[in-house]
A and B are shown apart, each in its own frame.
Chain A
Amino acid sequence: MKKIATGNKAVAEAVKQARPEVIAAYPITPQTEIVEQIAEFVTSGEMRSRYIAVESEHSAMAACIGASITGVRTFTATSSHGLLYMHEMTNWAAGARLPVVMANVNRSLGPGWNIWAEHTDAMQERDTGWLQVYVSTVQEAYDATLMAFRIAEHNDVLLPVMVNLDGFLLSHIMQPLETVDIGDFIPPMHLPHAIDVNNPAGYGGLTGPDQQFRFRWDMERSMRDSVKVIEESEKEFAQRFGRKYGFTEDYRCGDAEVVVVSMGTLGKEAEVAVDQLRSEGVKAGSMRLRWLRPFPKLNLVGKEVVVIDRDYSFGHGGILATSIVAQTKKDVFSVIAGIGGQEVTFDDVAGFVRKRRMGTEFWFGVNSHV
């Protein structure tokens, strides 16, 4: 069915289709619309889930953990400080191998109180064992949320998945949305280690130095296995519903001499910038990274690379840029732009490409050499 929806509404529509038994959530701008919409679905009877209106994000994730370990599907949504407040529990959910699905509406961190788009919130969760996907359109927010359940609950994964969408730039933007009848695209959840009172077990108790690393290695093994599960799920999704996704969305990269790598809605600005640059004779391309975890192998051989980070690791660099440098062993032009919702247009992106200087870092609005 075709409609017009915001990114937040699209996530809620997908959650309705996925039918989680338990949803536990706490409101936070700019995510609130997701949980309001879900609460409305539950109240009206359109969804038969239990909606737990918890008193904090820490409790939201704890409640999802408690529900998930009984073997039922769970969902929550958060943003920014809410995500950071649940950080202890995001680690727990992943370590406990629970396929919780969460939408995170990317927002800056205080102080000051800034409610606009930035990726640093989710980036700070990158080492927790969650799979992370970043989307760029309302349709993709819907599609990625549906796929998140299937991927998280796959027996070879059993790790939580976070779907990231840019605060306001996507969460509150209206775009066309085609909803689907998912049929059996998400199979019934089967959690092999679900609590069973007839076969009692201890979960997460004292674990010694001779054992803990085994659990951590098992998480990494599943993270690696998730690559093929993601590929298979996206392929199946494309076959059923006609929309194709991958680890990256590549735009005119084939013959490109310079590639802009970015995440989220900036990737769409970059595509317009690429067209503009091409019309000027610059062989540019755009590579929008969709999956941050597992981090894909990027094909950037023979190309100059401009990385735009809407995030930062103080004392180190743009998180995406430093990750790409570590993987490709090549110099990149690292642009820090869009922090706290700073406006970045396709013209700005084209400007970054025109005046790129490999091996340097450029803070948009601070440094002047571009």
Chain B
Amino acid sequence: MATSKKSNGRSIPEINQKIKSGDVQVLTAEEMKKLVENSGIEVAYKEVDVVTTGTFGAMCSSGAIINIGHSDPPIKIQRAWINDVEVSHPGAAVDLYIGATQMSETQPFEYGGGHLIEDLIAGKEVEVRATSYGTDCYPRTKLDTVVSKDNLNQFYLLNFRNCYQRYVCATNSRDDIIYTYMGKLLPKFRNATYSGAGSLNPLMNDPDYETIGIGTRIFLGGGQGYVIGEGTQHDPTNRFGTLMVRGDCKQMNPEFIRGGAFTKYGTTLYVGMGIPIPILNEGLAKKTSIRDEEIITEIVDYGVPRRGRPKLGKISYDILKSGTVTINDRTVKVSSLSSLKKAKKIASTLKSWIENGEFYLSAPAETLPIDSVCNVMRQRDDVTFVSSVIHKAVTCGVDEDIKEVAKRIISESINHVVVTDSTGQIKGIVTSWDLTRAVSEGKTKLTDIITKKVFTTKPEETLEAASRKMAAHHISALPVIDREKKVVGLITSEDIAKLRGR
């Protein structure tokens, strides 16, 4: 009997039967949370067959495989460009892969693979150029043509890492604006950014991968696609799960798939994805009722360009979605980089597809790993950091006598004296050259010869970046400061030369 079956669990074939007969009960993840809050898990489990989720964000590890058909005489493409974006030719003669982050050679940072995929989906004509070395069977060496999606034999999105379960909240400790894949970050923690749909995210609603696996049918870019495996860097152990997906671009709609440009970082593809979660048991009813306040992520300082970026605290998605966060006791605005509006629209579109019998659920052919982690790179080279050549800085106060400073330069046989205040914070730098000039110009006050705007480095910066900084600004030393701007040492071009000559 149907009622007794319900208490023992629900199956995907049963749900599909209900879709067919028009009796299926579908809620979006947002509606499910409300129902559970008002009526409890038991009622929600009894009443709801499917919960729909959604996310729309920048997903760089995306791209499309296309087959452009054979020309006459035929060509075995060696290198190819579409709309000046180099596309890769990893296989046979006319199969090409458009990578989302590959940038146009004529409009870099503004147009890239992501935009090209969007243009093709929108039905636009694109320019194909290709070169080759010519073979006995593929004699052609040059190609120049125009195609649109109707001319492509296959046009499939093949994304190898999508749909991050959650992501970090980014901010910037530096004194300058930085442009990152987490967007534009103002100096001194003046703003923050985050990504992800929080409680609407597909993987957050099925965190144990009970229903999402290889072969799960999904909403992808406005069409129907499939999960084809776990994504690269899949790390469910730390709640950073990812998916590999595939979908037919010819069904897609630019409303749900867009090229994107991150200033001074590069181009990407914004992907809209929604996954239906069948409520097979009471546990899934509970899991799909997850709320934003239960999803915690970390605030991370992108001002430190290292793999292990400093973590500044924890934060929940409900606070992120409120638009302001507190960093170092100061309240600043936080921007979402993924669209919550589109995420909601995807969840509700998928809901109506299922209700209208246009979308049926599929059981996974194989489950995804639930205990893998993302490991770091095995490195062969030895990267040297500023901390390994740092030495003690000779310092002086702002009010010191110019002669005393000169004496110190002689007695310590150095060229740079770092000017600090009583707390040890950097106020400037004086070099032996500055002193020589002071003598020749008759200046007697230290404050008249101090360079107040000083280029500095930090112990965790790579020596390579520090020497680039010295070369770019034609200077021979960099004071090393900590996060409070206190002087912790000095590095000179001599130190670097010595290390290289070792």
Indicate whether A and B interact: no
A residues neighboring B (CB under 8 Å): none
